[in-house]
Amino acid sequence: MSTVAARASGDPLAEPPLLQAGTLAGLLPGLFHGFSGALPRHDDFSRSTQRLAGRLAPGRAMPWPLELGQPHGREILDLDGWRPPEGLAAGDPPPRVRGVDGARATGAAACTLAIKAADCVPVLAVDPERSTYAALHAGWRGVARGILPNLLGQWRDAGSSLARVRLAFGPCIQPCCFEVKSDCLAEFDAGHLRGAIEERGGATYLHLTEVLTRQAAQLGIGWERIELLLYCTSCHRDPSGAHPFASYRRARRAGKDLSGRNAAFIGVLG
């Protein structure tokens, strides 16, 4: 993992921290990617994400991010078969694509896939074998419904052996803070929950990235091909004492409205 930039002294007007997963670096020509800290709530997500991506390639024109609607499901958009709506003005960002929590594209697409999260797991994936990449929004419902196996199954059905796939799981709520109830656990395959549950003080806590890792392993992707950025969005603090990541759970505990979202993006420069 490399840190491209960090928030200065917790200043909410400064650019949020931007993290990269080293396991994805150099897998495709022109590939860029990142996981951010909290974007200000009032910011336009597409413009903010494009600005973040631009920090990785100063002076280059970055493609507009494609923002997903994220209904907490398992549906994944194949960008190679998608066209922006007619009437979109040149230079304008594409509208949010509703009904999907993930998107995939080939390296020839020269686009940016972007998701927003505030405790859910942002997943970035690359398959160099077929020059494809993807971004997934994996909340607990999406994880339970199999959004990651759905992506990997689509790549396998398209002819990939999955032997070169690399995954990166970005900052998300960790089992230190993610308390769950029995109705949540009932949605998961029991086999995926082995090693992913902690019992403390009469409460149950879930490790979502452990569930994702087990799902990936069932399709032949071992832990050595997965990078985890194990920052807890709920409780992690930067050196100034500020919370650099947006967190729905933290805001709810404090009786506040959620402020901002964390971004994750991946794309290829043409």
pLDDT in tens, 46-79: 888 988 999 998 888 888 888 899 999 999 999 8
What residues are paired with 226 via a beta bridge? 167
Task: Please give the helix or strand (H or E) that residue 168 lies within, else none.
Answer: strand 166-169
Tell me the C-alpha distance between 267 and 132, whole Å: 10
Task: Look at residue 88 in the predicted model and tell me its pLDDT.
Answer: 65
Residue 6: pLDDT band with limits 50, 70, 90: very low
Prediction pTM value: 0.92
The closest alpha carbon to 48, from 72, 34, 35, 65, belongs to 65
Residue with tokens 């929950």: 193
The closest alpha carbon to 174, from 249, 260, 252, belongs to 249
Backbone angles phi, psi at 49, to 5 degrees: -70, -40
Task: Look at residue 230 in the predicted model and tell me its pLDDT.
Answer: 92
Per-residue pLDDT of 120-150, as tens digits, reads 999 999 999 999 999 999 999 999 999 999 9
Q: Per-domain residue ranges for the chain?
A: 17-82+93-268
Q: Beta strand pairing status for 112-117 and 65-67?
A: parallel
- Section 213-234 average pLDDT: 97
Percent share of the chain, pLDDT over 90: 70
- CATH architecture for the domain at 17-82+93-268: 4-Layer Sandwich (3.60)
Helices within 158-207 (DSSP H only): 182-185
The neighbour count for residue 197, using CB atoms within 10 Å, is: 16
Of 6-10, 12-16, 211-215, the range with the highest mean pLDDT is: 211-215
Whether residue 194 has pLDDT greater than 70: yes
Residue 89: pLDDT band with limits 50, 70, 90: low
The strand ranges marked E within 73-117 are 76-78, 102-106, 112-117
Q: What is the DSSP letter of 107?
A: G
The closest alpha carbon to 265, from 85, 26, 16, 33, belongs to 33
Cβ 264 vs Cβ 114: under 8 Å:
yes
Per-residue pLDDT of 108-121, as tens digits, reads 777 789 999 999 99
Whether residue 92 has pLDDT greater than 80: no
Residues 6+ apart with CB under 8 A from 9: 240
Tell me the C-alpha distance between 1 and 229, whole Å: 7
For every residue of 197-210, which 3-state class applies, written as one string?
A: EEEECCEEEECHHH
